[in-house]
Structure 1
């Protein structure tokens, strides 16, 4: 890796099985795209999936470059992995999305189109439209990485729930604070 600064990509599928995402990030094309964007490490949380990624990948660029890859199934908290990451690639689960946005990390959300009644697509596409994250499908992940400009993403600022709570309390007849 030479003088290259360590930059880690953290991939999470939450508690689901999303082998299509894990296989795609393990592909030589996606690893090459990540390497070209300056990333040095790829850490994959693979959930209930059965596909096990390779541990190391030789990237065919100048010299003998290696993208370091590791993986695990579950953790009681992924917050530390997200904090350490320079980029997060996640399934479209709201918990993973909002935890990543709350920590201010750049995020690519990959939608699992195999899920029935997939409300996650709506959330991911809405947040992408608002420029808080990038949205991809497994088959478009490589192109999304190649074309990404993380400088165009806007910080996510959670809304203030107090006016909604006050309105509900008023409606239910509870006294105002």
Structure 2
């Protein structure tokens, strides 16, 4: 795994090794991540990355949020309750020297406390596939004030998603066993 583009282009991220099967640690492949960012910055969605406040739910290795930072996002908050994931995220933040722009919230993404910082304008949502956790986490983040009105949500799942009330599906594309859905939060 590596950063695809931007300031840290080519930087190798921490090795997942055997990962954490119990926590469903399944990093987004470089190819899918590259396609995802091409979708986002290809003009149809404007530029949701530059200067974005990013929320990376079920962050895993932190690769999505760190890719956004490399491409010009202002800051990122990683949320993951897995110990292996938290270790990988900390290691990857250090590799990118992004300590001043990144923070880790060690918490279950479906049970977020109310937000205390600027709401996110770009959200990455990559829950364990097929467990219905994406909808719960997105709803919890919106209720807790973590997400700004009009925010762009990138939802990675094994198949089509049904967004919660107040979130509109804009585009969806399949890459192997991964479906990337782009949504927006109502203004």
Give TM-score scaled by structure 1 length: 0.44
Quick check: which one's strand share is greater? 2
Quick check: which one's helix share is greater? 1
Structure showing greater relative contact order (alpha-carbon pairs closer than 8 Å, 6 or more residues apart): 1
Larger radius of gyration: 1
